[in-house]
Every structure is written in structure tokens, then in C-alpha cells.
Amino acid sequence: MNDQYEPVLVGFLCNWCSYRAADLAGTARIKYAPNLRPIRVMCSGRVDPEFVLQALRSGADGVLIAGCHPGECHYVNGNIKALRRFSLLKNTLDQWGIEPERVQLLWASASEGTVLAAAVDRMTEEVRALGPLRWSEKVLGEKAAVQAAVEEV
């Protein structure tokens, strides 16, 4: 690999639409950024905002939540609930100074392998341009604390 910074993205993909979209992208041999690491959930409405925060805390540079298009949710309207939680979460992230590109919500139906692949490519570039998240320094302002701790040791 060259020296280019490779962001790590975590994807929460719903079982019925976007996980299958990613399956389809693979089956159709669409090549896209290998930076997204997908986690399957039954519905985008299952994505607890805590999952997103935990991903960022654990070293992810960005999180993609993907679900069925509005009106096409396998569970009637779970994606709308995901949208509501996402909007609230965005406010919080914004107050912490986390750039909006780092946490994104996408609608991709099971037939939209190209849509999902293009979104991953786009998001990878956007997060690459932002650089690593560095949660503890950037968000919690702990850099000084870490240094102090290191010096003490």
C-alpha cells in the first residue's frame, strides 16, 4: 500500500435492502473503496445512536447507516425512525465538532448496488480529506492528559 491515509468506515447495513445492495455490488463485481466494514442489522431502525458513538470511540473515522428507501422499509417505517435518530445524533456530533461527512445516512434498495458502491467511494474520499478522527484528542481534548500520563510513567 502507498502512504495515502486510508480511513476506516463502519457500515450499519439493513438486512433487507442495503446489505443486499452490497451483496449485489459484489456479485456484479463493482469495485469500490475497501474502506467500509459492514455490520448487518435487521433494520436501520435497530441502529442505536450508541453504536455510532461506540464506533467512533473505538477508532472508526466514519460511520455509514444505510437502509431501505422511505416507504420501502421491510418493517413498515424503521428507516424513518433511523432518520429521526440520525437527525438528533447529528446535532450532538455537530456540537462536539465532528464533521457532518463522518456520519452519513443512505437509502439503498436491494437493487441499488451501484448506489451503495458510489456512496462508499464518495464517503471514503470525503473522510480521507478530513483525516483521522482521533476521538480522544479531538473530541475529548485528552491529548494533554495522555501526554501527561506518559510523562508520569
Partner 1 sequence: MSEQKKSPAEQEKIGVYVCHCGSNIAGTIDVQEVAEWIEGNPNVVVSRNYEFMCSSTGQELIENDIKEKGLTRIVVASCSPHMHEKTFREATERGGLNPFLYEMANIREHGSWATNDKQAATIKAKALVNAAVERVVHHAPLEKIPVEINPKTLIVGGGIAGITAALELAEAGHHVYLVEREGTIGGHMAQIDKTFPTLDCSACILTPKMVDVGQNDNITLLSYSEVESVDGYIGNFNITVRKKARCVIDELCTSCGICEEKCPIKVVDEDYGAGITYRKAIYRSFPQAVPGFPVLDKENCTYFQTGKCKVCEKVCPTEAIDYEQEDEWIKFDVGNIILATGYDLFDARKIPQYGYGRLANVFSSLEFERMVNASGPTGGHIVLRDGETEPEKIAIVHCVGSRDQNYNEYCSKVCCMYSLKFAHLVHEHLPGAEVYNYYIDMRTPGKGYEEFYHRLLNEGTHFIRGRVAEITDADRQPGEEGKLIVQAENTLLGLQQRNAVDMVILSAGMEARHDADEVSKLFKMGCDYDGFFNERHPKLAPVATMTDGVFIAGTCQGPKDIPETVAQGGAAASQVAKLINQGTVMMEPVRASIREDECSGCRICNNLCPYNAIEFDEEKEVSRVITALCQGCGTCVAACPSGVIDGAHFTNTQVLAELEGILWDVQSDVTAKQEVL
CB of 52 to partner 1, least distance (A): 10
> Is the Cβ of residue 41 or residue 103 nearer to partner 1 in the bound state?
41
Distance CA 101, CA 51 (A): 17
CB of 4 to partner 1, least distance (A): 11
Residues engaged in binding partner 1 (CB under 8 A): 1, 6, 8, 10, 16, 19-20, 22-23, 25-27, 29-35, 37-43, 45-51, 54-55, 57-60, 68, 71-72, 74-78, 81, 85, 109-111, 117, 135-136, 142, 145-146, 149-150, 153
> Is the Cβ of residue 80 or residue 99 nearer to partner 1 in the bound state?
80
Name which of 106, 19, 9 is nearest 55 in CA terms: 9
> Is the Cβ of residue 50 or residue 94 nearer to partner 1 in the bound state?
50
> Is the Cβ of residue 91 or residue 150 nearer to partner 1 in the bound state?
150
Q: How would you class 3 by CB atoms within 10 Å of its CB: exposed for 0-12, middle for 13-18, buried for 19 or more?
A: exposed
Burial 31-63 (b: 16+ CB within 10 A, else e): ebbebbebeebebbbbbebebbbebbeeebbbb
